[in-house]
Structure 1
Amino acid sequence: MDEEDRDPVRFLTYLFAAMREVGIDAGEGILGTLQTSRPLRLEMILAALLPKIGVTPEPFILVLDDYHVVDSKTMDDAVAWLIEHMPPQMHLVIVTRQDPDLPLARLRVRDELTEVRTNDLRFTTSETAEFLGTVMGLSLSEEDIVLLATRTEGWIAGLQLAALSMQGHPDASGFVQSFTGSHHHVMDYLVEEVLQTQPVNIQDFLLHTSILDRLSGPLCDAVFHMEAGNQEAASRFGQDMLEYLERANLFIVPLDNMRHWYRYHHLFADLLRKRLHQRIIQNKEKGVTDIAELHIRASAWYEDNGLVMEAFHHAAAAHDVDRAVRLIEGGGMPLLFRGAITPILNWLESLPQTELDARPSLYVMHASALLMAGQMKEVERKLQAAEHALQGAGQAMKTPDLIGHMASIRAALAVSRHQADTILAESRLALEHLHQGNLPVRAATMWSLGYAHQLQGDHAAAGLAYSEALSISRKIGHLIITIMAELGLGNIREADNQLRAAAGAYQQVLGLAGDPPLPAACEAYLGLARIAYEWNDLDTAEQYALRAFQLAQQFEDTDRAVACEVFLAKLKLALGEWREAAAVLARADRSARQQHFLNQIPHIAEVQVLILLHQGDVEEADRLAQQYGLQFSKARVHLAKDHPTAALDVLETLRRQAEANNREDERLKVMVLQAIALHGNGDKIKAVKRFADALALAESEGFIRTFLDEGAPMKGLLREAAGYDIMPNDLGRLLTAMEAEGLEIEDEPDRRSAQAGKLLIEPLSNRELEVLRLIAQGLSNREISERLFIALTTVKGHNRIIFDKLQVKRRTEAVARARQLGLL
């Protein structure tokens, strides 16, 4: 590990690569999380990785080497969490020069910690003798060996450096006698000795390549710029040199089995860099290559080989701001959109204000990075600094694209606050000024525009904006905007009562989000939960909702987890678990108020009204409905008070609003409640007609809960509608669902007595009754096979037997006959 591994994205990238070495694939979902624009919570991402580890059959060891250089509380907390939760086949080794800030005392008490400390690592005199003689090929007296072991205190690095210095030394014993000083002074002296004993070209190679964190032959060739008449020999020089250094034990460590990548021992690299710096200062007038030039060479090589993040790192080290900016912009896909937020933020914060004032685009870049990091408070200040710098720079610097980018960032800020008017104004300004080729920012802006239209209820405009954002993001491979645009389209279709199309969009998101999925997939799972709920598949709805809640908890500073809990409370209520529903809702209410998610409070109050009505507390339900202006809740309260005329007045206003705004979901709810209110008002013919209209609107999409959730008032309406020949299949599906909830629809006495005499010659089996109930719910043969986990041909066979026993030829006849016989 090194200091840059404080960045969660970098740390997780290397961790997942290490896991793949033992056959544990993190999956596209977890890897995709690294591209998200939201702050990463390491513990949540590690939690998503644990199931992958849990199914690994063989034990393995994860080693975090040089852990001390990271020095990050965030990393310490994540590693402590991992230690607490890792499966038994996983073992963790931490190599560090100082005690990490981990719960070591607790681990000792539990006997879960093995410690190998300085005294354990020191070479004994016999080990020193074996190392010097066998490994380093030195022939020393026992007295010299004991003295050398004492002087180095058994420190292997010091012994190795001393041995390298003594190789070929005319007076090895005299060298040992003069070997004194502390470790740091000894290292300085010995590196000097080691370097001086090497040929000049090797000394130059070591010094020039010391700027690299990782070494490969071609990279070293690019940095060292070895001149050679033989081009083929020159192209192999770096690789040959690395292999020579490994054979000579010159503090180089291979990083892969193929010997393509190496690194220097960290302390050795530090000392080489110090020596390089001293050499450049001492020989500046002789035209010696400076450190910045070496970093630029490394940056150019990384860029040519498609490693843009590493190229940026070296450009920043060279203080080449223009090159760093170009690399961040990423040739069409900025590094910020690839998850490289922390290193870019760190670099921008290290720049002097004069550099930023000279390049207003850097302020805008800083604002964009802060937005993606979730540091909202500072974003506007950076944008204002950019505007001030632009005024000072004159009109030539006021590029339209930069103005458009600033407007896009302000639109995104308004999205987080659900401010539709501001989003619209800033998004339109952005699209007016952005360059046509700036596709990543245009895609993000189009999504913001779609969200504003959705907030305002203009679904047609929102759909067009989301579709445009989706088209652009697919073209450039911007995964996050692709997912967000698909989610937006799913939301629009769901609100337009197109449940099957919405479910398809949400499933598309899950396909993009990978396995395990990106946290952004929580919205798709929640959408699927709402649809499964509407289809009265409550078990599936609960599974989807719990998955959504788990993913939502990986986000910081969003209301998604609260939204999941509000839905779960409504689901509990449908299951008859109203106490559990109240408990879940109380927890959601606390979270919303503590975290100031005020937009969720009305949704919470709406479900609270349902619970209060279930408990018979009509007055408190009325108070809540009035307090938060919940019009649908007001109508239900009026119905609970047996004031259908007042309910109809409220519903008429809602009907006009729904039709004016083309809100199909609200229009359906209004129609259902109007039918109940008309029935309660004694206008039964109008009630049945309005109920039939609602059934027709919901027919093709399988709506059930919109009707069923109205409870006892719906019971009377269904009894009335059963006497009319209106959409018998859909009505039958609702009757079956209501009976399953314990709200049976009683038949007239003469009809029930007639049913008693109509007994089947051969009764239906339990499985046949099960199939018959699903037929009555309107499920196709394929849907029945999937629901019951049986073959399609088996379902068709059951159908033939059911039809024979009921003496009918078609499904509708089977359902009607079964109702006559009291089987449904």
Structure 2
Amino acid sequence: FEQSWQMLPADEQQVYARLSLFRGGFRREAAQEVAGASLAMLTSFVDKSLLVWEANAGTDRGRNGRYHIHELLRQYAATQIVGTDLIPRQQRHSDYYMQFLHRRTVDISGAQQQKAAQEIHADLDNIRTAWQWAVQQDSAKAIEQALTPLAMFYQLQSNFLEASTMFALAIHQLNDDHAAWPALALLLTEMSWIAIRLGRFEQAETYLHQCRAIYRRQQMKPLPGVGTDPLLGLSTLASIRGEYENAVNLAEKARQTAIAQSHSWNEATAAYGLASARYAQGEYDQAMTYAVAAHAVTEQLQDRWFRAYCLIEMGKAAQALGDLAAARHHFETSYSLREALADPEGMAVAMNHLGEVAWRQGNDAEAKRLYTQSAAIYRKINDQGGLAVAYHGLGQTAVSQSDFSTAQEHLYQALQIAQEIEFTPLMLTILGTVARFLQQTGQTRQGVVLAALVVGHPASAHETKTAVQAQLLECRKNIEQTLFVSAVQEGEQADLKTAVSIAQTHLSYSLPAVPSIPHSPVSQDLLTERELEVLQLIAQGMNNRQIAETLFVVLGTVKAHNNRIYSKLDVKNRVQALARARELGLIS
């Protein structure tokens, strides 16, 4: 290569050295703007195998496509760039790609989302380099102009970790002066949404309060962009904590500000937040109204990405109102929109909700498939809240299938994540399913304790409370009254931390799987009347000593009954006995 380099004319050497500033290839117009390369020079470099031309289908070299430089050649060329030429050309490179982003602000939030995202993706290596240079140079205005399209791109890609790294770098580097305040305000709101995605709720709240401080100090209105009013993020966090009325108040205040400001994206985000909070409160008609309103705004904006979120809220409301067909339609449409945008997180959200519909319709195999696919995506993109929801879905599906060991594993994982990120309503929903798991595995009293806490907790979503109340009514039929009352009282007096600890303890117990037993006609006298009585007391959650006291027999007699029950049912323990007895219709 040294020989080839020496054979280049001086002007071509200068331009080729400048081309080393590019990363991951470049287009003709970028080469001309940054390096001063003419089409004739680029063609000469291709002919000399110093560049590779990658043409777009059906286009010619002069108008479209990308040039690539081999990494070893690029490294050599970088050593040849004249010192006095380096910094001005780095600045040109940064300016070009920051403006490249800025020019796509409208497209990536509107009808050309997919095209704009593809264009940004093609030059992402150059954009990373340009962003880092702008940050180092404290170029607040360039960062302000480039931030919204770059943040939207990262949302579409579900690349939250890289976004967090890039934006945190800018927050720490920018000077806290008047010129930087708009950029800082935007950075703080974008970082808050990313932190929420990553389950870092306390960090998100800190960013939002810092942003509010800038707005108040400078008497600024929310800047252009999606979700730029910090009240919107604070409303979301209030919902995550189960403070639904506070969430409504914050979102409504943000909505009024957005309407007065003609800020359509913030208006849509506020209506979306109101739909979510009203749904949690059980105000399903209101939730649908707000979701439809948000959807209408996104249609006007031609924003398919946020429209897909609105469809999720419409589906949730339809599901709660009993229209599963409409719910499925909304979720499937949301999935299709996100699939077209190649948005992993959006597809995973839709799959979680489609899994819920399948589970409600009794299609456990389909529910399991959807939740499994969703969990795989959430693990990859590190979205902790979504992952916990997927694990919970797998757990509740396993409970329905009486696959209790699998249910244990997934419910434990779901509860652990929800506890770590302090997602209160989700913890309560998971506890409701754990209560059902305990009731179905012969630990009825402990299940009642958890169910009572869930029903009485102010952060429980209305739908969760309704479902768990039904569980309690069913349990009341199958447990001795004094035991039921004491368990309910214990649950009402327990705090959430204690309840989670109880649930984790029971989920960590080893529960061997029930062996597969061929179905055969059930003999009406398979168990004696006394053995059936003992079995019913086991199902109520009583231990051997409590059963002995209830039946006025000695402890050894109860153990003997247990052994005969296990032998007749061909099982090894209480859990297997209860599962087999339900299978045979011996207990309800």
Q: TM-score, normalised by structure 1?
A: 0.45
Q: Percent of pairs identical after alignment?
A: 13
Distance 2:443 2:349 in 1: 33
Q: Aligned match of 1:556 in 379, 382, 402? A: 382
Q: Secondary structure at the match of 2:40?
A: helix
Distance 2:45 2:193 in 1: 43
Pairing 1:446–2:446 present: no
Distance 2:364 2:96 in 1: 61
Q: Who is 1:412 aligned against?
A: 236
Q: Who is 1:238 aligned against?
A: 38
Q: Who is 1:431 aligned against?
A: 255
Shift of 1:485: 1.5
* Amino acid in the other structure paired with 1:414: A
The 1:404–1:547 alpha-carbon spacing in structure 2 relative to 1, beyond 3 Å, is closer
Distance 2:31 2:443 in 1: 78
Q: Aligned match of 2:425 in 591, 599, 607? A: 599
Pairing 1:373–2:183 present: no
Q: Who is 2:144 aligned against?
A: 325
Shift of 1:457: 1.7
Pairing 1:518–2:344 present: yes
- Listed as ranges, the matches of 1:186-197 within 5 Å are 194=6
Q: Who is 1:292 aligned against?
A: 91
Equivalent residues of 1:608, 1:621 under 8 A apart: yes
Distance 2:320 2:449 in 1: 28
Q: Secondary structure at the match of 1:359?
A: helix
Pairing 1:262–2:105 present: no
* Deviations, residues 554-592 of structure 1 (Å, cap 9, x unaligned): 453534444444444444444455565556545555555
Q: Aligned match of 2:221 in 376, 394, 399? A: 399
The 1:421–1:556 alpha-carbon spacing in structure 2 relative to 1, beyond 3 Å, is farther
Q: Secondary structure at the match of 2:384?
A: coil
- Listed as ranges, the matches of 1:771-810 within 5 Å are none
Distance 2:216 2:411 in 1: 52
The 1:207–1:299 alpha-carbon spacing in structure 2 relative to 1, beyond 3 Å, is farther
Query: Quick check: 505-514 or 577-586, which moved more?
Result: 577-586
Q: Who is 1:737 aligned against?
A: none
Q: Who is 2:331 aligned against?
A: 506
Q: Secondary structure at the match of 2:192?
A: helix
* Deviations, residues 415-462 of structure 1 (Å, cap 9, x unaligned): 443432332232223223337554333323321221111122221221
Shift of 1:602: 3.9
* Deviations, residues 599-645 of structure 1 (Å, cap 9, x unaligned): 3444444444445544555544444444544543432232224769x
Equivalent residues of 1:364, 1:406 under 8 A apart: no
Equivalent residues of 1:219, 1:301 under 8 A apart: no
* Amino acid in the other structure paired with 1:212: F
Distance 1:517 1:295 in 2: 27
Q: TM-score, normalised by structure 2?
A: 0.61
Shift of 1:241: 0.9
* Deviations, residues 747-788 of structure 1 (Å, cap 9, x unaligned): xxxxxxxxxxxxxxxxxxxxxxxxxxxxxxxxxxxxxxxxxx
Equivalent residues of 1:364, 1:382 under 8 A apart: no
Number of aligned pairs?
441
Q: Who is 1:346 aligned against?
A: 166
Pairing 1:206–2:16 present: yes
Equivalent residues of 1:443, 1:470 under 8 A apart: yes
* Amino acid in the other structure paired with 1:205: V
- Listed as ranges, the matches of 1:631-780 within 5 Å are 631-641=469-479
Q: Secondary structure at the match of 2:382?
A: coil
Q: Who is 2:31 aligned against?
A: 220
* Deviations, residues 108-162 of structure 1 (Å, cap 9, x unaligned): xxxxxxxxxxxxxxxxxxxxxxxxxxxxxxxxxxxxxxxxxxxxxxxxxxxx31x
Q: Who is 1:422 aligned against?
A: 246
Q: Aligned match of 1:358 in 160, 175, 179? A: 179
Select the structure with the greater relative contact order (CA < 8 A; seq sep ≥ 6). Answer: 2
* Amino acid in the other structure paired with 1:279: T
* Amino acid in the other structure paired with 2:194: A
Instruction: Please tell me whether Structure 1 or Structure 2 has the larger radius of gyration of its CA atoms.
Output: 1
* Deviations, residues 41-71 of structure 1 (Å, cap 9, x unaligned): xxxxxxxxxxxxxxxxxxxxxxxxxxxxxxx
Distance 2:373 2:95 in 1: 47
Shift of 1:367: 1.7
The 1:201–1:452 alpha-carbon spacing in structure 2 relative to 1, beyond 3 Å, is same
Q: Aligned match of 2:308 in 483, 492, 499? A: 483
User: What is the alpha-carbon root mean square deviation over aligned residues?
Assistant: 4.5
Q: Who is 1:82 aligned against?
A: none
Q: Aligned match of 1:497 in 304, 311, 322? A: 322
Q: Which runs of 5+ in 2 are unaligned?
A: 105-115, 457-467, 489-538, 540-581
- Listed as ranges, the matches of 1:301-340 within 5 Å are 307=119, 316=131, 317=133, 319=137, 320-330=139-149, 335=153, 337-339=155-157
Q: Which runs of 5+ in 1 are unaligned?
A: 1-159, 165-190, 226-236, 651-710, 712-739, 745-824
Distance 2:141 2:426 in 1: 45
Shift of 1:551: 4.4
Distance 2:446 2:267 in 1: 48
Distance 1:210 1:421 in 2: 56
The 1:353–1:388 alpha-carbon spacing in structure 2 relative to 1, beyond 3 Å, is farther
Q: Who is 1:19 aligned against?
A: none
* Amino acid in the other structure paired with 1:634: L
Query: Quick check: 473-482 or 311-320, which moved more?
Result: 311-320
